[in-house]
Amino acid sequence: MAIVTPLKTAAEQALVQQYADAKAELPGGPAVRKLREDAFAGFEAKGLPHRRLESWRYTDLRSLLREARPLADGVKVTDAVKARLASLKLDGLRLVLVDGVFAPELSMLDAIPEGLTVQSLADALVQPREDLARVLSGPSVGADDAGLALNTALMRDGVFVEVADGVALAQPVVIVSLASAEAERAAFHRSVVLAGKGAKATIVEVSEAAGPAAQQVNGAIVFETGDESDIQHVRMITRHQAASVEVQSLLVTVGAHAKFDSFALVCNAGTVRQQHFVRFAGEHTEIGLRGINLINKAQHSDVTLVVDHAVPHGTSRELYKTIAGGEATGVFQGKVVVRPHAQKTDGGMKSNALLLNEGAAMFNKPELEIFADDVVCGHGATVAQIDSEQLFYLMARGLPRAQAEALVLQAFAGEAAEFIGDEAIRELVMGEVEAWLKAREAAAEVSTV
Amino acid sequence: MAAVQETIDQVKSIDVTEYKYGFVTDIEVDKPAKGLSEDTVRYISARKNEPEWMLEWRLDAFRRWKTMTEPTWSRVNYPPINYQDIYYYAAPKKGASPKSLDEVDPAILETYKKLGIPLSEQEILAGVAPENRVAVDAVFDSVSVVTTFKKELAQAGVIFCSISDAIQEHPELVKKYLATVVPVTDNYFATLNCAVFTDGSFVYIPKGVRCPMELSTYFRINEQNTGQFERTLIIADEGSYVSYLEGCTAPKRDENQLHAAVVELIALDDAEIKYSTVQNWYPGDSEGKGGIYNFVTKRGDCRGKNSKISWTQVETGSAITWKYPSCILRGDGSRGEFYSIAVSNGAQQVDSGTKMIHLGKNTTSKIIAKGIAAGKSDSTYRGMVSAHRKATGARNFTNCDSLLIGDQCGAHTIPYIEAKTATAIFEHEATTSKIGEDQMFYCQQRGLSEEEAVALIVNGFVKEVLQQLPMEFAVEAQKLITISLEGSVG
């Protein structure tokens, strides 16, 4: 058979050009440069991920990304950005990225407590750190992902956070990534969180657009956490234009006797692809990945995760709740891998989806790949409608239909947010959920199935 | 003390560490030169005295096949197959196309007797209640040697014969239905099958008829270096019912043999087809030498409204299994079911599952898949449940559980659940675990040996599926499972 050489799409060609133009200016020493070159060579060979690639089966980036927007050039602190920052109701140590570039003047660099170091990724990349390439790469299970490769090649900035051994941060570190969004631009950023032995911290990531233009965002965050550490990660992707495309990679390596929890909320965004690559590096560790996806209109939310039980005695839990209305599409692809000898693994994965009306769709692919025998692993996946009996119960007590639905949906979604340890953050998340439901109620939208 | 003796016998019969059906029957066969070309296809067609349209159809498929590449997405590993090193046709010389049992080579009859499948109607009738009779189509290498109870079935209007006979005698039915469920170009192995299929069974149940007995086909590969390419086509016309059983075995050999079958089921309005398989091809030795490559395409089409197709399979044999018996739920209110037990031991590899494609309104489906992996084997459940936009009210329940015995085997679950209509209700659950220490302790406390305890627990694990099998099959299957897991404990 003839070997097929795929034609490059306009977006792929543009990305090749962008990389050629930008690579001299992109930060990093020789090791980082090599990392970028290798990653881009991989991208150039394979192109944008498409539906024939198993891990991108339901999110065809090749057809979604018709054009590659120009790379964002520098920090644009517009009034809208300032206003958005001012209205952000979240206490914590704020670190701000604007259009993917660290903005020290908007960040609380003077409030950094002892045991915490913060620098921009651009600064970190040029430092002679031996472990830099390893730290940036994250667990091997994500190594051949095309979305991540593009981020590796083009990452411009981000924050590089280190929490020293034994330090428990009193307040969360809040990484706000705002797009000025006055014009259609693309931003590639990556942040790194290194947590030492016994460190305890909450890291919040907020991704929003302040302006009216659709953005292309390719972000990544790397966690490498030490033994006995306890790290909580909360991500909120909201307030993006319908035509925006966002790819977010979460790369996690966790030490022994540690705890790592991640939660992500997606609402009022365009096309969002989150991909989590998580690896157990030490025994007796608990990892939880959870999320809520609220989608309507033509929105698309994809959560694809790989949990790699590389060592024995690991516990993992995944719980994702999707509510889809309009013409929206929800995707959940979860894969739990239990390596040979990773005995006593306990894995539980669940994806629940409610479809509100004809036109909405949900694709579930919960996978188990198990090579050890002394394990307890399970997964469940459901797709259904709002339970008519629950609605009847509430309406029989006098609640109007729209309100009854909102109540049922809130309870359905809320289950995944219960695990957020920080009360203020949990309330903020549920506040967003309630606002989304209120908007639906106000528009007198009711489920038609 | 009859009961004690029975127990001893049973334990003895279980204590076979060898594959029970691994013997070879020494008979003269007729076969063309090895290899695959248009000439091979012409040879097969000529030997079967096929009409011109059938030959053309085969040649078209063959030409298509040459442009295709072997699929690699399944979780199985095997060295590349040399398609030129296989005999594509092997038929016993003596008594080709026998008119009655007397013309069949006694060696073949003896073989089937040894396999526990008596072919003489008198023998079948001895001591069997009429309602428990089973009509058998016996396929030996590339040809059907005999079909029993043909006459009695004909009285009910049921056509049960080899597909070669059907092509001669009922061309209109074959033309109308062949390859309408599994298209010629469906996949690499199905296309190959279209080009070189040799025999298989054909069943047509007319309108409103409940088939008076179970129908069954027994496939036996005997010759060395041959591939078996069988083709089965079952049509249940409006309001009819049929239960069909399929069994298969092969001799023990060091070489791998290819078995690429296509099975098509068509259920029209209100019809029901129940298809049961006990697959016991030679699995190869514990190191993975020899055994059958079982690359099979099975698909049922619930074409009519309120029709039902149910697949039940017990998979214990084959070095590699690659098979996904599926249901296309096209008719409104149609129902698909899939019950499966896949047992793998030694170096066996199983990649099996089902597809439930919901197209009609208010269609329902149920999947119960139990995988048991022992030794160094790998067992994968791969399944898809999808609802088309117009398949309103689609309903599915899926349960797939895996049991691991030993720390060198693997069990994997890859389900695809796709709802394109908001009125679908899909539930999916899967678990993987090993036999609980507390369960073992409890059984052993009460005096069961370790092996007996495992057998008991495994039996409980697969019971839900075994219950779906016709009675005689269920007993056989239960024994098979125990034998397959032989040597996996300790």
ipTM reported for the complex, 2 dp: 0.90
Write down the pLDDT at residue B130: 58
- How large a percentage of chain B has pLDDT more than 90? 52
- How large a percentage of chain B has pLDDT more than 70? 91
Encode pLDDT of B120-141 as tens digits. Answer: 766 655 555 555 677 888 888 8
Residue A435, in any domain of the structure? no
Write down the pLDDT at residue B129: 57
Residue A325, in any domain of the structure? yes
Q: Is A355:A449 a contact under the CB 8 Å cutoff?
A: yes
Write down the pLDDT at residue B489: 60
CA distance A17 to chain B (A): 34
Q: Take residue A295 and report the two structure tokens written for it.
A: 């989608």
Q: Is B371:B403 a contact under the CB 8 Å cutoff?
A: yes
Q: Say if residue B10's pLDDT is above 80.
A: no
Cβ of A353 and B420 within 8 Å?
no
Residue A15, in any domain of the structure? yes
Residue A446, in any domain of the structure? no
B438 contacts chain A (CB < 8 A)? no
B412 contacts chain A (CB < 8 A)? yes
Write down the pLDDT at residue B122: 61
Residue A394, in any domain of the structure? no
Cβ of A449 and B408 within 8 Å?
no
Residue to substitute from A51, A368, A371, A448, interface B, most B β-carbons within 10 A: A368
Among residues B420, B384, B423, B268, the alpha carbon closest in space to that of B331 is found at B268
Write down the pLDDT at residue B490: 47
Cβ of B417 and A381 within 8 Å?
yes
Residue A32, in any domain of the structure? yes
Write down the pLDDT at residue A5: 55
Write down the pLDDT at residue B465: 86
Highest mean pLDDT among B147-151, B277-281, B358-362: B358-362
Average pLDDT over residues B155-181: 94
Average pLDDT over residues B324-330: 97
Q: Which chain B residues are within 8 Å of A362, Cβ to Cβ? A: 417-419
Q: Which chain B residues are within 8 Å of A359, Cβ to Cβ? A: 422
Cβ of A357 and B422 within 8 Å?
yes
> Model pTM?
0.90
CA distance B272 to chain A (A): 28
Q: Tell me which residue range forms the domain holding A317.
A: 10-384
Q: Is B197:B40 a contact under the CB 8 Å cutoff?
A: no
Residue segments in chain A with a per-residue pLDDT below the cut of 50: 1-2
User: Pick from A359, A377, A385: which is nearest to B432 by CB?
Assistant: A377
Average pLDDT over residues B398-413: 91
- SS3 string, chain B, reads CHHHHHHHHHHHHHCCCCCCCCCCCCCCEECCCCCCCHHHHHHHHHHCCCCHHHHHHHHHHHHHHHCCCCCCCCCCCCCCCCCCCCECCCEECCCCCCCCHHHCCHHHHHHHHHCCCCCCHHHHHCCCCHHHCEEEEEEECCEEEEECCHHHHHHCCCEEEEHHHHHHHCHHHHHHHCCCCCCCCCCHHHHHHHHHCCECEEEEECCCCECCCEEEEEEECCCCCECECEEEEEEECCCCEEEEEEEEECCCCCCEEEECCEEEEEECCCCEEEEEEEECCCCCCCCCCCEEEEEEEEEEEECCCCCEEEEEEEECCCCEEEECCEEEECCCCCEEEEEEEEEECCCCEEEECCEEEECCCCCEEEEEEEEEEECCCEEEEEEEEEECCCCCCCEEEEEEEEEEECCCCEEEEEEEEEECCCCCEEEEEEEEEECCHHHHHHHHHCCCCHHHHHHHHHHHHHHHHHCCCCHHHHHHHHHHHHHHCCCCCC
Domains of chain A: total: 1
User: Pick from B412, B416, B424: which is nearest to A368 by CB?
Assistant: B412
Q: Say if residue B252's pLDDT is above 70.
A: yes
d(CA A59, CA A331): 8
A377 contacts chain B (CB < 8 A)? yes
CA distance B487 to chain A (A): 16
B369 contacts chain A (CB < 8 A)? no
Encode pLDDT of B29-72 as tens digits. Answer: 888 888 899 999 999 999 889 999 999 999 999 999 999 999 98
Write down the pLDDT at residue B95: 53
Residue A34, in any domain of the structure? yes
Cβ of B422 and A385 within 8 Å?
yes
Q: Which chain B residues are within 8 Å of A329, Cβ to Cβ? A: none
